[in-house]
Structure 1
Amino acid sequence: MNLDTLGPRICILGPSNSGKSTLADAIAAKQGLEPIHLDRLYHLPHTDWQPRPAGEFLTLHDAAIAGERWVMDGNYSSCLPQRLARATGLILLDLSTPLSLWRYARRTWFERDRRGALDGGRDSVKWSMIRHIVVATPPNRKRYAQLYARCELPKVLCPSARALARRYREWGLAR
Structure 2
Amino acid sequence: MTEFPPLEEFGHRIMVCGPSNAGKSTLAAALGRTLGSPVVHLDQLHHLPGSNWVPRPREDFVALHNDAIAGEQWVMDGNYTGLFPARLSRATGIIVIRSNRFGGVARYFRRTLFERGRVGSLSGNRDSIKWQMIHWIMFAGPPKQRAMRRALPSAGLPYLEVHAMRQLNRLYREWGLSRG
Give the alignment's TM-score, normalised by structure 1. Answer: 0.98
Structure-2 separation of matches of 1:109 and 1:91? 28
Alignment match, 2:102:
98
Alignment match, 1:59:
63
Deviation of the 1:135 alpha carbon: 1.2
Alignment match, 1:111:
115
Alignment match, 1:146:
150
Alignment match, 2:28:
24
Q: Percent identity?
A: 49
Deviation of the 1:125 alpha carbon: 0.2
Count of residue pairs the alignment pairs up: 175
> Secondary structure of 2:117's partner?
coil
Structure-2 separation of matches of 1:101 and 1:19? 12
Runs in 1 of length 4+ with deviation above 3 angstroms? none
Structure-2 separation of matches of 1:147 and 1:106? 31
AA aligned opposite 1:156: L
Deviation of the 1:151 alpha carbon: 2.8
Alignment match, 1:171:
175
Of 76, 82, 90, the match for 1:72? 76
Give the alignment's TM-score, normalised by structure 2. Answer: 0.95
CA RMSD of aligned residues (A): 0.8
Structure-1 separation of matches of 2:36 and 2:116? 26
Deviation of the 1:149 alpha carbon: 3.4
> Secondary structure of 2:39's partner?
strand
Structure-2 separation of matches of 1:44 and 1:113? 16
**Where do 5+ consecutive residues of structure 2 fail to align?**
none
**Where do 5+ consecutive residues of structure 1 fail to align?**
none
> Secondary structure of 1:12's partner?
strand
Alignment match, 1:8:
12
CA contact (8 A) 1:107 1:123 kept: no
CA contact (8 A) 2:45 2:64 kept: yes
Deviation of the 1:148 alpha carbon: 3.2
